[in-house]
């Protein structure tokens, strides 16, 4: 495997991203040293390359990526993985608000806690939060899965349209158009496959604790509401 190291110290986000995109065409893996919570790291990267950010990242880490696999060895700020279409973003620590905002596909993993509005307006893909997720997680969610291994805060699934939020811990309150149902065998099988693939080691008993938040109505804002199912 051919690796390329970028020292981000005293460089601007534009300079770092230009170097990432140039080196991505010739290498298999890029390691970014001294990121110092830089914003917009690896923004718009479309090469199928591995990127290790050796430290914490700022806002919009991995925004609009397509195909890259990014690993942040630290924390991330607001909106990591924003509008990604394909690929993977792994955050070893915690992240701010808007994790996976608007994603069309791929997987975003936060090993610890996330802020508010996780998965806001997401269309497809998977978001996994290893700890707790803040208020209005799943706001205007249009598809995909959010999996929270800890607790989820106020107004979970606010104005959810499609998709599902799986919560192992406590649900503080539901948002408009959200309801809770028990998971079935198919849900449990899918959860095991997804979580095992990301190194989460849960027992069979743990999976029985999950609850599923889904839309209550197919048409919550237009005319007469119709109940899902």
The string over 43-73, giving b where at least 16 C-beta atoms fall within 10 Å of a residue's C-beta and e elsewhere, is bebebebbbbbbbbbbbbbbbbbbebbbbbb
Query: Other CB atoms closer than 10 Å to residue 135's CB: what's the count?
Result: 19
**Domains in the chain, ordered, with CATH?**
3-215 (2.160.20.60)
Q: For the segment 44-99, what is each residue's pLDDT rounded down to a tens digit?
A: 999 999 999 999 999 999 999 999 999 999 999 999 999 999 999 999 999 999 99
pTM of the model: 0.94
| pLDDT score of 194 more than 90 | yes
Q: Which two tokens stand for residue 160?
A: 């959810």
Query: Other CB atoms closer than 10 Å to residue 31's CB: what's the count?
Result: 17
Q: For the segment 139-177, what is each residue's pLDDT rounded down to a tens digit?
A: 999 999 999 999 999 999 999 999 999 999 999 999 999
């Amino acid at each position: 495997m051919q690796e390329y190291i970028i020292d981000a110290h005293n460089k601007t986000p534009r300079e770092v991203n230009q170097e990432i995109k140039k080196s991505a065409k010739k290498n298999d893996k890029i390691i970014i040293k001294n990121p110092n919570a830089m914003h917009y790291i690896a923004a718009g990267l479309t090469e199928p390359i591995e990127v290790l950010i050796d430290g914490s990242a700022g806002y919009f880490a991995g925004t609009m990526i397509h195909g890259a696999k990014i690993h942040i060895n630290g924390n991330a700020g607001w909106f990591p993985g924003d509008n990604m279409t394909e690929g993977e973003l792994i955050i070893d620590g915690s992240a701010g608000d808007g994790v996976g905002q608007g994603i069309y596909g791929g997987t975003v993993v936060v090993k610890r806690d996330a802020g508010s509005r996780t998965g806001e307006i997401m269309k497809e893909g998977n978001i996994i939060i290893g700890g707790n997720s803040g208020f209005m997680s799943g706001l205007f969610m249009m598809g995909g899965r959010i999996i929270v291994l800890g607790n989820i805060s106020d107004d979970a699934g606010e104005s959810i349209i499609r998709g599902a939020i799986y919560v192992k811990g406590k649900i503080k309150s539901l948002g408009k158009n959200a309801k809770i149902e028990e998971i079935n065998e198919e849900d449990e099988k899918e959860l095991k496959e997804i979580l095992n693939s990301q190194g989460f080691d849960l027992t069979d008993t743990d999976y029985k604790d999950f609850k599923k938040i889904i839309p209550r109505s197919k048409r919550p804002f237009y005319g007469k509401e119709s109940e899902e199912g």
